[in-house]
Structure 1
Amino acid sequence: MEEREKLKEILKKRSYEEGDFVLSSGKKSSYYIDAKQTTLDPEGAYLCGKIFLRMIREAQKGVEAIGGPTLGADPIVTAVAVVSYLEGYPLSAFIVRKEPKGHGKGLWIEGDKALRPGMRVAVVEDVVTTGGSLLRAIEVCERFGLKVVQVLALIDREEEGREALRSKGYELEAIFKRSDLVG
């Protein structure tokens, strides 16, 4: 079975649920995608790492690191970093906090020692609804001096996220759209 199809099968089995839910955006939904059930699964994580790395390499944008907003991006960036190392194309991983650390150095970005101003990075999220988490992470990256050249998601819920990102000059590339998983 092809990698994308296998990942889709895992997502449908482990992450997709129907019911009444309130999303992190505050919106109500008749379905929920708990992508971490897939991205924390050994095979799901590996497949995410493989597919996202392929997307990064095929885009040829000179990406040197991958990061994203905690908590959704955490297992994804780790998977991509590990797979990238194993495939001889090592990318550094970083995580953008929701707020600066309240102690120590007060960091916004974990993994910052591998980063430098001007570095070309991809920013990733597990599920995009409004795009708010990605836009906040992108803003933090840009304040740090990073150049965000690629924006990725495991799943685009096909709501406002893609348009919100486009309005700020970013194109969202998603492995799956909600419509790929429903039905």
Structure 2
Amino acid sequence: MDVLNLYKETGALLEGHFLLRSGRHSPKFLQSTTLLQHPLYAEAVGQAMGELFDTLELDFVIGPAMGGVVLAFVTAKALGVRALFAEKDGQGGMRVREGLTIHPGERFLAVEDVVTTGGSVQQAIRAAEAKGARCVAVGAIVDRSAGRAEFSAPYRSLVQLDFPTYAPETCPLCQRGEPLQEV
């Protein structure tokens, strides 16, 4: 599957000057919600993600809200397990929403659309582990960390991209006066 082409076809690969959730700036941004709003593309991505992890014994797939909700669902569907999500807890972390059941000892896959630092998916992992579950793998559609994101479980992505990112104080786009877009 040519994941980058799916982003291009759906207008989900943006160019400009973007403030990433990590706080860094980048001239390119992947708007996964634009891609995943198309059910056929979302299912194809979920199937491809499922194939990366189909040898694992899993009880559920979890993703951080909002970006990981659809991805967790389509990946879980491909794997034949439950789909859960973690949401912000109002204290700088995440929690598993009441009504979504996790039993101690359950094994899970954590997924994220795009990993830059891995911070959001790490919070989702901690939320599930706080309920006694065990993360056995981490997956992403796109790894834009250039292999620098580290997790306590094996990590795989459908594609690895190396878009440049900059600290705000050294950003050449800021220095040129290009307007910054929050995403």
Tell me the TM-score range normalised by the shorter chain: 0.7 to 0.9
Residues 70-90 of structure 1, C-alpha deviations (whole Å, 9 max, x = no match): 111111112123344xxxxx2
Contact 1:165/1:171 (8 A) holds in 2: no
The percentage of counterpart residues that share the same residue type is 25
Q: Distance in 2 between matches of 1:111 and 1:50?
A: 28
Work out which of the residue numbers 118, 121, 126 in structure 1 matches 2:113: 126
Q: Provide structure 2 residue ranges, at least 5 long, that are not aligned to the other structure.
A: 164-183
Q: Take 1:83 and 1:61, find their aligned partners in 2: how far apart are those partners?
A: 13
1:165 to 125, 150, 154: 150
The structure 1 segments of at least 4 consecutive aligned residues displaced by more than 4 Å after TM superposition are 111-114
Distance 1:113 1:30 in 2: 38
How much does 1:114 deviate? 4.2
1:177 equivalenced with 2:160 (yes/no):
yes
Aligned residues: 160
Distance 1:41 1:74 in 2: 14
Take 2:59 and 2:98, find their aligned partners in 1: how far apart are those partners?
A: 13
Cα deviation for residue 154 of structure 1 reads 0.5
1:40-55 equivalences in 2 (<5 Å): 40-55=37-52
* SS in structure 2 at match of 1:137: helix
Contact 1:151 / 1:173 at 8 angstroms: preserved in 2? Answer: yes
1:39 counterpart (16, 36, 39): 36
Change (3 A) 1:41 1:146: same
> What's the counterpart of residue 133 of structure 2?
146
Q: Is the 8 A contact 1:66 1:121 kept in 2?
A: yes
Unaligned runs of 5+ in 1: 85-89, 101-106
Please, what TM-score do these two structures have when normalized by structure 2? 0.78
What TM-score do the two structures reach when normalised by structure 1? 0.78
